[in-house]
Amino acid sequence: MLARLMFAYVNFGARNGLVDALPPNPGGDSHSQDGVPLAKKAALRTGVRGETYAYWFLRRRGYILIARNYTLPGCKGEIDMVGYDGDTLAFIEVKTRIIPRIVPRGADRSKYRLPEEAVNWEKRSNIMRIARQFLRIRRMESVANRFDVVAIESQPGSRPQVRLYKGAFLAETLASRQMA
C-alpha cells in the first residue's frame, strides 16, 4: 500500500518530466561555483531523479529492494539497485534519458538513443563482477539471480515512460566470452 501511494506521489511530481531547466547563469560561465560543469550537474540530478522514480516503480511492482548504489572498493562501476522479485535476487541497472521534443537539425542522433542501449558489454561486465562479489561476500551463491534493466525516457512536459527488462542479460555471456 505504501509503495502504491509513494509511486503515485512520485509519478505526480514527474508529470512534467524528470528534468528541470538549468538555473540562469548570469556570468555566462558553463561551470558552477564549485567548478563542476553545469551540464554534468544537470545529468547527475536527472540520474538521481530517474533512480528514485525507478525505485518506487519497482516497489509498486512488488520488488523488495535491499541495496541501492552498491559499490566495492577497488572495483569500477556500481549496481544501481539490488532486490528480490519473489524468490529471485535481481541486480538492477537504471538508465534515464531526457529526449527533447524536437531533435535539432544536424544534431548527433546517437546522443538520443534508447536508454537500454547504453548497457553495453563493458557495463554488463562491471555489473556482473560486482554482483558475483555481492553474492560471495554474503554467502548467497546458491540464490537464484538475474540482471534487470529499467529504461526511463523523459520528455520535458510529459510523464516518463518506463520499460522493465527482466533477465536483460545473463552471467553466462561473460563466462563464454572469457573462454573464447
Q: By mean pLDDT, which of 12-16, 55-59, 77-81, 107-111 is the weakest?
A: 107-111
> Would you tell me how many other CB atoms lie within 10 Å of the CB of residue 68?
16
Q: By mean pLDDT, which of 15-19, 42-46, 51-55 is the weakest?
A: 15-19
Tens of pLDDT, residue by residue over 117-170, are 889 999 999 999 999 999 999 999 999 999 999 999 988 888 899 999 999 988
Residue 46 has pLDDT above 60, yes or no: yes
Tens of pLDDT, residue by residue over 55-93, are 999 999 999 999 999 999 988 899 999 999 999 999 999
Q: Does domain 2-179 have CATH number 3.40.1350.10?
A: yes
Domain positions in the chain are: 2-179
Q: How many residues does the chain have?
A: 180
Q: CA angle at residue 131 from 127 to 132, to 5 degrees? A: 120
- What was the pLDDT predicted at 14? 76
The pLDDT-based confidence of 111 (bands split at 50, 70, 90) is low
Relative to beta strand 88-98, strand 145-154 is parallel
- What was the pLDDT predicted at 39? 77
| Angstrom distance (rounded) from CA 123 to CA 131 | 12
pTM score, whole prediction: 0.78
Q: What is the signed CA dihedral for 109, 115, 116, 119, rounded to 10 degrees?
A: 90
In the numeric block, which cell numbers belong to residue 128? 556482473
| Angstrom distance (rounded) from CA 127 to CA 139 | 18
Residue 55 backbone dihedrals phi, psi, to 5 degrees: -55, -50
